[in-house]
Amino acid sequence: MRLLKVATCNLNQWAMDFDCNLSNIKQSVAEAKAAGAMIRLGPELEITGYGCEDHFLELDTVAHAWECLKELLLGDWTDGILCSFGMPVIKDSERYNCQVLCLNRKIIMIRPKMWLANDGNYRELRWFTAWKSKDHLEDFHLPSEVSDALSQTTVPFGYGYVQFLDTAVAAEVCEELFTPQPPHAELALNGVEVFMNASGSHHQLRKLDLRNRAFISATHTRGGVYMYSNHQGCDGGRLYYDGCSCVVVNGDMVAQGSQFSLKDVEMVFAQIDLDAVASLRSSISSFQEQASCKTKVSKVFVPYKLCQPFNLLMSLSSPLKIRYHSPEEEIALGPACWLWDYLRRSGASGFLLPLSGGADSSSVAAIVGSMCQLVVKEIANGDKQIKADAIRIGHYTDGQFPTDSQEFAKRIFYTVFMGSENSSEATTTRAKVLADEVGSWHLNVSIDGVVSSLICLFQTLTGKRPRYKVDGGSNIENLGLQNIQARVRMVLAFMLASLLPWVHNKPGFYLVLGSSNVDEGLRGYLTKVEANFVV
């Protein structure tokens, strides 16, 4: 038996936060080594963070990434373990999205991404060049400060794989898995048994099944070990990356990480018998025939063994049932995790939401309530980082910390019903009931006086007094008066968010949450933080 233990991970990286990102990477490597893993895979562009956007165009971003990689290689982090680190690399005058494969304090290969994600939420062609050459590996000259420190001048660069004494390993980066001719098909025919997919895949409702089917398909008919690593959390932008790192063997999921978690580092391990891969391939006649006339792919030979000796105490990872959340759970958990990440990194003391009792703002309030429940749950499970963040944000003292989600919400979540003479008792009551259920600190405010003052000011300036349509006014008058109410609510929300911490003797500020629906946000006709007050 050729036993191989592998480690992949969900990492909560933050764009341009090199210190935090490096700390998470080190923790993941340390946990992988402690568990006896021989391969450690991290997510795409993990050193810089995936969502750096136009910061990728700055030379400093690449330079800082090399500094982080140098620190990893000068320490003992890669001793005895193959590590794949994601970072941008400039070769000649082109910038590439790369996986850097390292072992025993040396870089053994740099694999640039060949097919870039450039649709939907992704714009990789704006920042990176796709590597097109498949003929051979080129020599890449390391930056002088790195080569001097490592006593290593050049590194193989390009499309290829690493041949060890006992197995072959290759990288397939994110989007490449989903192309019509994915690299793993050709690599499998060349004898590659372990595929490492570093990814930056955002959460989208029911998208996880699409990813999992791709991993299973990649190894079901051609055999192989498919490792997948993903970011998890908000990295500073609009997207939430939903983790679910996993390991698939011969079409069976044998290890799966969480999809929604507040953890910064989550490891996923699998113990595999590589002879099972060889056995499946040798049993498929068509695979044997195509492998005999394959197009050869360049390789880097490393005289090192990754497999471990047979041990009766080491049990193999067995196929498991893939875990999926219901659509309702995805809606509740994904945005909640995003909100917590944004809050803890912002320096704010909490959220403020104009709560109308309507569907939009009520949904946002429920998501914040879900966030508070997740925080309390993870603290109860012993997560020290989440506990420290919650104590800081909630301003707990004397050793206290959140143990009840409603009590925690009372400290960090403020809701305001900003009603008018047109608001109904039903919406007022619904807002109050929901606020009590979530646990928010709730205010009930009438904006009639402010609206009336503005109308009087307009009448003084023009000599005309606009009326609502129900009172005989025109469409123009009606729209203008509705917009006055919306803008008053916006100004009041930001004033409360700025000054309520001062009122309650707290530092910082509150983040104002909007509750417009998606098409309003995308098409630009939203009013920031406007809540639709239903009559």
DSSP 314-354: -PPPPP-PPP---HHHHHHHHHHHHHHHHHHHHT--EEEEE
Asked whether residue 530 is domain-assigned, the answer is no
Residues 96 and 222 reside in one and the same domain: yes
Q: Which domain holds residue 393?
A: 327-523
What is the Cα–Cα distance from 237 to 467, expressed in whole angstroms? 42
The CA distances from residue 452 to 97, 302, 448, 481, in Å, are 57, 79, 6, 10
Q: Which domain CATH number covers 245? A: 3.60.110.10
pLDDT tens-place string over residues 466-521: 998 989 999 999 888 888 888 898 899 999 999 999 999 999 999 999 887 666 66
Query: What dihedral angle (degrees, nearest 10) is formed by the CA atoms of 137, 141, 142, 144?
Result: 170
Residue at 534 is within a domain: no
pLDDT-derived band of residue 96, with 50, 70 and 90 as boundaries? very high
Catalytic residue among 5, 33, 44, 246: 44
Mean pLDDT of 27-32: 98
The first and second tokens of residue 193, run together, are: 């048994």
Do residues 144 and 223 both lie within one domain?
A: yes
Position 317 in a domain: no
Contacts of residue 199, defined as CB under 8 A and 6 or more positions apart, other chains included, come to 43, 44, 173, 174, 228, 229, 230, 231
Residue 113 a catalytic site member = yes
DSSP secondary structure code for residue 508 in this structure: S
Q: Is the pLDDT of residue 313 over 90?
A: no
**Residue 533 scores a pLDDT above 50:** no
CATH of the domain at 388: 3.40.50.620
Q: Which tokens sit at 389?
A: 């963040």
Cα gap 297→191, rounded to integer Å: 10
The 10s digit of each residue's pLDDT in 75-88 is 999 999 999 999 99
Q: Is 44 a catalytic residue?
A: yes
| Amino acid residing at 386 | I
| pLDDT over threshold 50, residue 179 | yes
Q: What are phi and psi of 487, to 5 degrees?
A: -70, -35
Domain's final residue, options 266, 301, 336: 301
Considering the domain architecture, whether residues 346 and 457 belong to the same structural domain is answered as yes
Of 115, 248, 111, 241, the closest CA to residue 177 belongs to 115
71 is catalytic: no
Three-state secondary-structure class, residue 154? strand
In what helix (H) or strand (E) does residue 74 lie, and over which residues does it extend? helix 59-74
Domain boundary among 251, 267, 301: 301
Query: Is the pLDDT at 528 greater than 80, yes or no?
Result: no
Exposure string of 188-207, with b = 16+ CB inside 10 Å and e = fewer, is bbbbbbbbbbbbbbbbeeee
Question: 3-class secondary structure for 228-276?
Answer: EEEEEECCCCCCCEECCCEEEECCEEEEECCCCCCCCEEEEEEEEEHHH
pLDDT score of 485: 86
Q: Which two structure tokens, joined as six digits, stand for 491?
A: 């100004």
Same domain, 297 and 358: no
pLDDT at 228 over 60: yes
Asked if the structure places residue 318 within a domain, the reply is no
| Angle, CA 257 vertex, CA 52 and CA 53 arms, to 5° | 5
pLDDT confidence bin for 98, thresholds 50/70/90: very high
Q: Phi-psi region for residue 250, left (φ > 0), alpha (ψ -120 to 50) or beta?
A: left
Residue 104, in any domain of the structure:
yes
Residue 152, phi then psi, degrees to nearest 5: -140, 125
The pLDDT value given to residue 521: 63
Residue 197 · residue 173 · CB < 8 Å: yes
Is the per-residue pLDDT at 531 higher than 60?
no
CA distance 354 to 514: 8
Judge whether residue 527 has pLDDT over 60: no
Per-residue model confidence as pLDDT tens digits over 394-442: 999 999 999 999 999 999 999 999 998 878 889 999 999 999 999 999 9
Active-site choice (5, 113, 299, 387): 113
Q: Do 398 and 259 lie in a common domain? A: no
372 and 282 co-located in one domain: no
**Whether 198 contacts 188, CB under 8 Å:** no
**How many domains are there within the chain?**
2
- Classify residue 94: in a domain, yes or no: yes
How many angstroms separate the Cα of 178 from the Cα of each of 31, 45, 289, 379, 452? 30, 18, 25, 38, 58
**Which amino acid, one-letter code, is at 30?**
A
Residue 529 lies in a domain: no
Structure tokens at 283: 């049993």
pLDDT category of residue 530 using cuts at 50, 70 and 90? very low
* β-pair partners for 83: 40, 102
297 shares its domain with 348? no
Catalytic one among 52, 98, 102, 174? 174
Give the confidence band of 524 by pLDDT, cuts at 50, 70, 90.
low
d(CA 130, CA 112): 8
Residues 17 and 106 in one domain: yes
- Tell me, yes or no, if 207 is annotated catalytic: no
Same domain, 353 and 479: yes
Say yes or no to pLDDT of 311 above 80. no
Name the catalytic one among 199, 261, 317, 356: 356
Res. 43: pLDDT tops 80: yes
Would 320 be classed as within a structural domain?
no
pLDDT at 525 over 80: no
Q: What is the pLDDT of residue 523?
A: 64
Identify the helix (H) or strand (E) that includes residue 68: helix 59-74
Is pLDDT at 252 greater than 70 in this prediction?
A: yes
Residue 484 burial (C-beta neighbours within 10 Å; 0-12, 13-18, 19+): middle
| Model-wide pTM > 0.85 | yes
Task: Look at 482 and 53; give whichever has higher pLDDT.
Answer: 53
- The pLDDT value given to residue 534: 37
pLDDT of 420:
86
Q: Are 345 and 456 in a shared domain?
A: yes
Last residue in a domain, options 301, 335, 368: 301
DSSP symbols for 440-453: -EEEEEE-HHHHHH
In angstroms, the CA 252 to CA 345 distance is 38
Averaged pLDDT for residues 99-108: 98
Rounded to whole angstroms, the Cα distance separating 516 from 529 reads 7
Q: Is 43 helix (H, G, I), strand (E, B) or coil?
A: coil
Distances (CA, A) of 41 to 10, 32, 270: 10, 9, 12
- Separation of alpha carbons 357 and 437, rounded Å: 13
Residues 476 and 395 in one domain: yes
**Packed helices 359-380 and 425-438: angle between N→C axes, nearest 10 degrees:** 10
Of 162, 256, 186, 258, the closest CA to residue 215 belongs to 256
- Please tell me which residue, 7 or 420, carries the higher pLDDT value: 7
Contacts with 226 (C-beta within 8 Å, 6 or more apart), sequence order: 184, 195, 197, 215, 218, 219, 247, 248, 249
pLDDT of residue 520: 65
For residue 302, give the amino acid letter: V
Looking at the fold, whether 396 and 466 belong to one and the same domain comes out as: yes
